[in-house]
Amino acid sequence: MSIRVDKVDKIYPTGNLDLYKVREVIASSQISTDQKLKFLRNNHSEISLLVEHKISGSEFKSIMDNRPLKLFKPIRNSYTKAGDKKLLAIALGIKPNEVDNYIKNVNLQIRSMQDLNTMGLSKDKYEEVKTYVFRHGTKEQVINFLDYELSHAKNVLKVLYHTLEYNSGGVADYFIRPIHRLDNGTMLGIYNVVDKNLKAARASGKISDVQAQETAEWALARIYKIQNNQRLKNAVKLYKKLN
C-alpha cells in the first residue's frame, strides 16, 4: 500500500493498528518526519498495547530487574563519565581534553561507513571508543555507531538482539540513563537504522524474509519499551518531587 503523507491518520484510525502497520508508517520514505511524530503521538496508547503483546510481562520484568546503574543518580553518573574519559584517553594515548574531538572525528568517519583500516583505527581502539560512545556519547553518535555496527556485522540479528538488551553496553544501556532522553525523533532515527540494515541483510541473503519481518517487529517493540521505561521513571521522579 502506498501511504500518502496527508492520509496517515485516515488510513490507520484508532483501533485499526498492528505492529506491521506501525512499521510501515515509521519506515516509509513517503511520509515526513513531522507526520511520523504526529502518528506516534496520536496512537501512543494503542501502540503501547501492541508492544505489551509482543514482549511478555515476565520478559519486561526481567529487563527492569537487570537494568544497570542507579536510577536518578546524575551526580554519580557524571563522576563515572569523568573516570571513563580518563581511561579512554589512556587507551588512545591522548590527553583527556582531546577525547571529545577524537570521538567527533571518528564519528564523522563512522557516518561515512569507512572501515577500520581506512580510518587508521585498530580494532581495540575502535572498541574502546564504541564503549565510551554507548555510555556517554551524543544521541547522533549512538545512532551512527549502531548503524556502523549493524552494517559491518557478520550476524546482524545477533548484534541487534545484543545491543537492545540491558547490561550489554549497547543502545538499551545508553537510554536507561536519565540524562539520555529517548524522544520520538531519536526513536525514529534508531528504528530507521535497524530497518535499513535488516532490509540489506535480507537482500543479501543473510536472513530470510520471515526473519527480517519478525525481527523488525521485535526491535520496534523493544525500542518502544525502552522509551516507555524512561517515561515511567520520569513520572516517578516527578511524583517524588511533588510529594
Structure-block grid coordinates of residue 185: 525523533
How many CA atoms are closer than 13 Å to the CA of 139, on its beta-carbon side?
15
Query: What pLDDT is stored for residue 12 in this prediction?
Result: 52
Q: Which three cell numbers stand for residue 3?
A: 501511504
* Rounded distance between C-alpha atoms, residue 92 and residue 99, angstroms: 9
Q: Which residue stretches of the chain have pLDDT < 70? A: 1-15, 52-79, 230-243
Would you tell me how many other CB atoms lie within 10 Å of the CB of residue 162?
16
Supply 26's cell numbers. 515509521
What's the confidence (pLDDT) of residue 146? 97
Longest dimension (CA), the chain: 57
Residue 205 is predicted with a pLDDT of 95
Cell of 2: 502506498
HSE value, Cβ hemisphere, 13 Å, CA-based, for 224: 25
Q: If 0-12 CB within 10 Å is exposed, 13-18 middle and 19+ buried, where does residue 144 land?
A: buried
Closest CA to 198 of 3, 26, 8, 12: 26
| pTM higher than 0.75 | no
pLDDT value of position 58: 56
Distances (CA, A) of 232 to 112, 171, 177: 36, 18, 13
What integer pLDDT is reported at residue 62 of this predicted model?
54
Q: How far, in Å, CA of 58 to CA of 81, rounded?
A: 32
Which of these, 166, 187, 182, lies nearest to 69 by C-alpha position?
A: 166
Are the CB atoms for 161 and 197 separated by under 8 Å? no
Dist CA 233 CA 220 (whole Å): 20
**The three cell numbers locating residue 96:** 583527556
How far, in Å, CA of 23 to CA of 120, rounded? Answer: 37
What span, in angstroms and rounded, lies between the C-alpha atoms of 56 and 162? 18
